[in-house]
Amino acid sequence: MSQYRRYELLQDLAPVMVDQALIVCNIGFPSQELYAIQDSPKNFYMLGSMGLSSSIGLGLAQTLAKKEAPQTVISIDGDGSVLMNLGTLSTIGNYAPSNYILLLVDNGAYGSTGDQPTHTSGKTDLAAIARAGGTAQVHVSHEAETVEVMKQCLSNAGPHVIVAKVSPGSPKLQPVPFDPGYIRDRFRFEIT
Amino acid sequence: MVYLSHLINHIFINQPYDHDHTAKQAKPLFLQKTMTLISEQLLVELKRNGADYFASVPCKLLGDLIDLLEHDSTITHVPATREEEGLGLCAGAFLGGQTPVLVMQNTGVGTIVTSLFSLALFYNLPITMIISHRGTPGEKIGTQVPMSNAVKPLLDVVGIPYFPFNHHRDVKKVGRLVQHAQVAQRPVAALLDFDFWRSES
């Protein structure tokens, strides 16, 4: 049986989340994969600043939460990158609004740099850290189970943290071909 | 005035900032009033120019400002666990349509450099940075001095315009700084040293 990696997960998730929510997507392969699977002006591709996907999404969700019908924000982050900004799980635990979903794709590896193992492939449990950081609705799912979990999260008030377990590895793709100003501006036009 | 400056140093440097206000109550009233008053003016000017989202990492010199932010229901305030996280929060707030301010100590300039380049400058994000400039005259902690000297060269290298705030009258400049960030389409920084927080003219 072929392996179920982040790419396969994003393929399965695209129909339920792309164009439905504002997505802040992590630097490197995750953005390349999301772009290749389904580009949308509602996707904000990070081209740098590893570790800050959850924070950018949180600031955005807080801003939108003040509006009458707030758009949902999904931050796609990884195990390696969230470990670089671990304090974010405490900030999310205390400050995330109900329109915020953090999708932690946990493949136990630094995928964009050659699949070096992260600590989540050892003893570290990101879901436990998210809970301890103060988030009540933390979901752990494996492979394609995440699609149903995401559907539930999109229809029930958050904040939610999803720890989605997948296998390491990525297909060979090209970098996102957009200028950062273009990514920024077309994303901002999607804010209502 | 020697006696007074010792007293100011003692109060500004040695007194821990305390959220339950016990440390503040220990301050002589006139000094407490000075810092609070300048912080209030700072916030008024920031808000008057549209600032409505604040992420902060604490500094003793910014204690009163952060206290005001925490109790101001007209703005959003998020205490960040480190400066890079604060920058990410501000980036998101800008994408959502708010006018963000990052409140931090100058030591954090050292840890935030990569994200200033690859997030704030790469995407042209207007973020006003209110930075306390520790290690300037008035400082009592020696370890603050080396980073203090590196702050301006670092900001030069990164390409962040910065403006020294060294007299309480400079509080009026902060509004133009918020506007300048919008015009420059990049972060701009105010460096608030010890003299900024003194009341003498």
Q: Name the burial class of residue B156, with classes exposed (0-12), middle (13-18) and buried (19+) by CB atoms within 10 angstroms of its CB.
A: exposed
Give all domains of chain B, ordered by start, each with its CATH number: 2-197 (3.40.50.970)
CATH number assigned to the domain comprising residue A94: 3.40.50.970
The pLDDT of residue A87: 98
- Which residues have CB under 8 Å from A159's CB, separation 6+? A61, A92, A96, A97, A98, A100, A101, A102, A135, A137
* A80-120 residue pLDDT tens: 999 999 999 999 999 999 999 999 999 999 988 889 999 99
Cβ distance of B89 and A183 shorter than 8 Å? no
A-contacting residues of B 122-161, CB under 8 Å?
A: 122-125
Report the 10 Å Cβ neighbour count for B158.
Answer: 19
The pLDDT of residue B10: 46
The answer to whether residue B15 scores a pLDDT higher than 60 is no
Q: What is the mean pLDDT of residues B22-37?
A: 63
The pLDDT of residue B18: 41
The pLDDT of residue A2: 74
The answer to whether residue B1 scores a pLDDT higher than 90 is no
Cβ distance of A49 and B95 shorter than 8 Å? no
Residue with tokens 């036009």: A189
The answer to whether residue B194 scores a pLDDT higher than 60 is yes
Question: Is A106 a domain residue?
Answer: yes
The answer to whether residue B16 scores a pLDDT higher than 60 is no
Structural domain for A168, as ranges: 6-188
ipTM of the complex, rounded to two decimals: 0.97
3-state secondary structure of A141: strand
Q: Which of A25-34, A104-113, B17-26, B104-113 has the lowest mean pLDDT?
A: B17-26
Question: Is A29 a domain residue?
Answer: yes
Average pLDDT score over chain B: 88
The pLDDT of residue B31: 59
Beta bridge partners of B134: none
Question: Is A1 a domain residue?
Answer: no
* B147-174 residue pLDDT tens: 999 999 999 999 999 999 999 999 999 9
A91 phi, psi to nearest 5 deg: -65, -45
Chain A contact present for B91, CB below 8 A: yes
The pLDDT of residue B13: 45
- Between A and B, how many CB-CB pairs are < 8 A? 120
What's the pTM value of the predicted model, to 2 decimals?
0.91
| Cα–Cα dist A183/A43, whole Å | 8
Domain count along chain A: 1
Cβ distance of B95 and A58 shorter than 8 Å? no
Q: What is the mean pLDDT of residues A123-142?
A: 98
Token reading at A59? 């600031």
Question: Is A134 a domain residue?
Answer: yes
Question: Is A40 a domain residue?
Answer: yes
Q: Which of A120, A187, A127 is nearest to A160 (CA)?
A: A127
The residue type found at B21 is H
Cβ distance of B124 and A184 shorter than 8 Å? yes
The pLDDT of residue B97: 97
Q: Which residue has the higher pLDDT, B39 or B30?
A: B39
A-contacting residues of B 34-53, CB under 8 Å?
A: 53
